[in-house]
Amino acid sequence: MKSDSSSIRRPTSEQGLGRDDKPAATTLDVPQIDSGLLLGAAGRVVIEHHGQRYELRETRYGKLILTK
């Protein structure tokens, strides 16, 4: 599957400081992808993680479910 970097968004604004004045985790560290692009027309995708296969799918109610 070809990666399309235009479908991944990286927000540009930083969040404030977290507890104990340590920098909070920012959204800059986490790429975002639209679920429709990830799941495709089938509404599901198989993800391989550490040799295990997981299925991410959208329910009929629009929720996401990850199963092994």
pLDDT given at position 1 = 46
How many Cβ atoms sit within 10 Å of the Cβ of residue 59?
Answer: 9
pLDDT band at 66 (very low <50, low <70, confident <90, very high): very high
Interval 1-60: pLDDT, tens: 444 555 666 555 555 555 566 566 666 788 999 999 999 999 999 999 999 999 999 999
pLDDT given at position 20 = 60
pLDDT given at position 24 = 62
DSSP structural state of residue 35: H
Domain ranges of the chain: 9-67
Fold of 9-67: Complement Module; domain 1 (2.10.70)
Name the E strands within the chain. Answer: 8-9, 32-33, 44-49, 52-58, 64-67
**In the structure encoding, which two tokens stand for residue 66, read together?**
């990850």
CA end-to-end span of the chain: 21
